[in-house]
Amino acid sequence: MVDSRILQTQSALTKAIFDLASEKPISEIGVAEVARRAGINRATFYNHYLSPGALLASAVTRELDRVRAADTALRSKGDEPADQITRRSVDAVVSVVERNRRMFELTLLDREDASLHRALAAHFEVSCRLLLVNFNGKPEDVVDVDVIARFVAEGITGGIESWLQKPTMSANRLSDAIVSALPRWWH
């Protein structure tokens, strides 16, 4: 069982980094500032993370991991068509981005720190691998799992970045675009 103090620290750090990253680019946020906002000292911060970017990447990844876990559970059950599960999961990912739009605008588009871009791409790459290995009905269509997973993951991340630069485009339209661009084995 995880110590409640660790959970409290994680919660305080997550709130602090989301708040700060909604105010300015991640490259402009220092450890002392995060620690102060979280009500901890710098040493405690460094016990958990190497940088504010690593903290933010971890916090966003945890949220997206919950979406992937729900997707995997639904696909394992086999009660729903894959295309409906895919749409629900894409909508959930887009909802995470939309809920934190300002933070994503400032951090994902930050040219000085690519930690969030790398975290998103890595998360989507793992998701692609899981689908290709566990739920792909036609494994013979997969030329190379590594290349395909990375290619699709970067495409989803790039699509989110493009959407962030289009303030009038709806979240539903982003979901439509992502779903339409996904390979047939994802559906």
Which pLDDT tens digit goes with each residue over 57-92? 999 999 999 999 999 999 999 899 999 999 999 999
In 78-140, where does DSSP find H-type helix?
A: 82-99, 101-108, 115-130
Instruction: Between 184 and 127, name the one with better pLDDT.
Output: 127
Which pLDDT tens digit goes with each residue over 94-103? 999 999 999 9
The distance of Cα 52 from the centroid of its chain, to the nearest Å, equals 16
Which pLDDT tens digit goes with each residue over 123-148? 999 999 998 888 765 656 667 888 99
pLDDT band at 6 (very low <50, low <70, confident <90, very high): confident
Instruction: Return the structure tokens found at 75.
Output: 């696909």
Count of CB atoms within 10 A of residue 33's CB?
16
Please tell me the predicted confidence (pLDDT) of residue 141: 65
pTM for the model: 0.90
Cβ atoms of 89 and 70 closer than 8 Å = yes
Phi, psi of 34 (to 5 degrees): -65, -45
Count of CB atoms within 10 A of residue 117's CB?
19
CATH fold label, 51-186? Tetracycline Repressor; domain 2 (1.10.357)
Cβ atoms of 108 and 164 closer than 8 Å = yes
- Answer whether residue 1 shows pLDDT above 70: no
Spans of all domains in the chain: 51-186
pLDDT band at 122 (very low <50, low <70, confident <90, very high): very high
